[in-house]
A and B are shown apart, each in its own frame.
Chain A
Amino acid sequence: MELQEAKEKIVEDFSMFDEWLDKYEYLIGLGKELEAYPEEERTEEHLIKGCQSRVWLCSEKRDGRLFFRADSDAIITKGIISLLVGVYSGRTPEEIAGDDFAFLDEIGLKENLSPTRAGGLASMIETLRRTAEDAK
């Protein structure tokens, strides 16, 4: 699936929910589906700063593409990072670094998080971007 297509699918999924609680159910589901995080990567270095809950993100480059793995001790946050990993894992660094991440606004994730949590989401995006820049 192309990046654009993956983002559109998420926007479409979210458009089915009228209630915020349903969006959370969906994110909790995504969080539970997330592949187990490698214990050896659960380090200070991979901890994303600026989140109220703890979030780890590590990456690996294979055949010119970046693959991400992530974890969080809070399940909704884990769902959010799972959503990001689902959309951006397996893309080229150029694709990720050049993306505007605007679909997150479209699904209302940013404005409906409290400032501390929006800060957390911003930190996650920033980490993805920086990782992609470094991997170019």
Chain B
Amino acid sequence: MFPALGEKVYGKPLVYLDNAATTQRPLSVVEKWRRMALERNANIHRAVHFLSSEATAEYEAARDAVRDFIGAADRSEIVFTSGATASINLVAFSFGERFVGEGDEIIVTEAEHHSNIVPWQMLCERKKAHLRVARVSDDGHLDLDQLSSLLSPKTRIVAVAHVSNVLGIVNPVKEIVALCHSRSVPVLVDGAQGIVHCKVDVQDIDCDFYAFSGHKIYAATGTGVLYAKRKWLDEMPPYMGGGEMIETVNFSGTTYARPPHKFEAGTQNISAVPTFIPALETARLMGEDSAVGKYILDALTSDSRITLYGVPRGTTDKVPVFSFSVKGVHHEDLALILDKMGIAVRSGQMCAEPLMDRFGVTGMLRASFAPYNTLEEAKYFIESLNRAIEMLL
């Protein structure tokens, strides 16, 4: 089903454990992508000819598939972007233009990916606003009391990850949203990791924005989603101007199309967006084997040489994303040796430099599992990790 997973590297079967960076694709996604590029290539929403109608239907069917997958109230609340980064930048710009002014405050957390920090820093710079940072505890959990104490009448938005790409800890987003809403503060949830491992229901979470990338949930690269409550999309100014996002254009003034098209200026990634349909179908069918995560968690926490960042407190607050360091061993050495054993893991800062500073390390090693990874692979990983550590110590 996933051809890449059958590949060999350096003569060894590939064990792909860098899923938090990107997932491998099922054949159904590649087939849809190929068909859109070869047989259904036409610009959408405009022409009356056959190909254009077919391409438009596929593109809009993808919007329905996404709406259904995350439980949005209305299809106009699904905006297609190039990825989670673009989705967050869109909000930081458009929401910021309309609602953020000098002296206002924006809250992010210490455990955010750079993509959920830098757009807000740029906004703060533009508007002379201030960035406030919610802390995480030593075991990698968000400090809700401290977050609560940061909320002030000047807070305009809170941006928080559903699941940290380093710690793998599931933030209690529903609780965070309720807390922020009680102070009339909207919440953006960065769902890049959460969409893969958690059942997402945006109406239940009640978040104002939910952003994620397609390529981390089996879809084509260059695809992403911004879910936003309709009231925000109505009030926010467009991010980019161009074709598709307009109603009428005159030199005396232009009126904009209604959401979601208001935020989809220019020709979209029309060959790739429809891959959301088979990708989300795959995601729905593939249940995660909790035995894999449990095996790795037990192996890592029972080894005194290893420090795991992001330790669960319960049974449902950690996804199988494991970042750790090994005493006396550099993460880069481990990643290099594991690579030659056929195992793809990530080493370094994982686009979360502030979090590295928080834990006082220059980097970590991360093994991130997808539902397609097997217990056998998990065992091979731990065995190989031990071998690599012994080579290095």
A interface, CB within 8 angstroms of B = 19-21, 24-25, 28, 52-54, 73-77, 114, 117
A80 to chain B, nearest CB (A): 11
CB pair A54–B362 under 8 Å, yes or no, is yes
Task: Assess the B337–A24 pair: CB atoms within 8 A.
Answer: yes
Which of A19, A20, A21, A74 is in CB contact (< 8 Å) with B332?
A74
Q: Which residue of B lies closest to A24 (CB)?
A: B337
Q: Are B348 and A52 in contact (CB under 8 A)?
A: yes
A114 to B330, CA, bound (A): 16
- 20 A/B residue pairs, CB under 8 Å, sorted by A: A19-B340, A21-B337, A21-B341, A21-B391, A24-B391, A25-B391, A28-B391, A28-B392, A52-B332, A52-B347, A52-B348, A53-B332, A73-B362, A74-B330, A74-B333, A75-B330, A76-B333, A77-B330, A117-B332, A117-B336
B293 CB-CB contact with A under 8 Å? no
B residues whose Cβ falls under 8 Å from a Cβ of A: 10, 329-330, 332-333, 336-337, 339-341, 347-348, 362-363, 391-392
Q: Please give me the residue from chain B that is nearest to A74 by CB atom.
A: B330
Chain A residues near B339: list those with CB within 8 A.
114
Closest Cβ neighbor of B331 among chain A residues: A74
CB distance from B332 to the nearest CB of A (A): 5
- In whole angstroms, how far apart are the Cα atoms of A74 and B334 in the complex? 9
Number of A-B contacts (CB under 8 A): 40
Would you call A77 and B391 a contact (CB within 8 A)? no
Do the beta carbons of A24 and B362 come within 8 Å of each other?
A: no
CB of B333 within 8 A of CB of A20, answer no
Cβ-defined contact, A75 with B333, below 8 A = yes
For B329, list chain A residues within 8 Å (CB): 75
State the Cβ distance, B335 to closest chain A Cβ, in Å.
9
Contact A53 B392 (CB under 8 A): no
From residue A22, how far is it (CB to closest CB) to chain B in Å?
10
The residue from A21, A25, A53 contacting B330, defined by CB atoms under 8 A apart:
A53
Q: Which residue of A lies closest to B330 (CB)?
A: A74
Residues of chain B within 8 A of A28, CB atoms compared:
391-392
Tell me the complex Cα distance, A47–B329, Å: 20
Interchain nearest-CB distance for B234 vs A (Å): 44
A21 in contact with B340 given A73-B330, A74-B332 (CB within 8 Å) = yes
State the CA gap A71–B355 with chains docked (Å). 26
Taking CB atoms, residues of chain B closer than 8 Å to A73 are: 330, 362
User: Nearest chain-B residue to A76 (Cβ)?
Assistant: B333
Q: Which of A24, A53, A74 contacts B340 (CB 8 A)?
A: A24
- The answer to whether B392 touches A75, judged by C-beta atoms less than 8 angstroms apart, is yes
Docked Cα-Cα span, A25 to B391, in Å, equals 7
Q: Which residues of A contact B392 (CB under 8 A)?
A: 28, 75
Closest to B10 in A: A20
| A54 CA / B330 CA spacing, docked (Å) | 10
Nearest A residue (CB) for B349: A52
Q: Closest 8 interchain pairs by CB?
A: A74-B330, A20-B340, A74-B332, A53-B332, A76-B333, A74-B333, A75-B333, A52-B332
